[in-house]
Amino acid sequence: MQVNREAKFRIGQVVRHRFYPFRGVIFDVDPTFNNTEEWWQSIPEEVRPRKDQPYYHLLAENSDTEYVAYVSEQNLLPDESGEPVRHPQAQELFGPMKDGFYPVRAKSAH
C-alpha cells in the first residue's frame, strides 16, 4: 500500500545531514525512494534509511567540495546557519538566499 506523505522540507530550503558533515539546498523531491537498489544497498545497514519516505536531491557541499546528493527525509535537518550554499549551480537555479531559503528562479519565456 502506498503511503501518501507530505514532504517535510521544500525546494529552495537549506538543510544539513543528520550524521554526516554536509549541507545543501534542495532542488527536487521524490515522494519515495527513486534510485537504484545497488545505491541503496551500498549504504551501511546500520544507517540505511527506509524507502517509504520522501528523498531529496541536494546541491550539496562539505568542507572540501560541492556535489549532488540524494538524501532521505529521516537524515535531514534544517540548516540554521544562515550561510548561503556555495555550490555553483545554486546561482543558476535560485535567486539570492533570504531567511534560509532560496527562491526558485522564474523560467524566462523565449
What is the pTM for the complete model shown?
Answer: 0.89
Helix (H) or strand (E) holding 16: strand 14-17
| Rounded Cα gap, residues 76 and 31, in angstroms | 15
- The CA radius of gyration of the chain, in Å to the nearest whole number, is 14
More confident residue, 4 or 83: 83
From the DSSP assignment, how many helices (H) and strands (E) are in the chain? 2, 5
Write the pLDDT tens digit of every residue in 41-81: 999 898 899 999 999 999 999 999 999 999 999 999 999 99
64: CB partners within 8 A, 6+ apart: none
CATH code, 14-93: 2.30.30
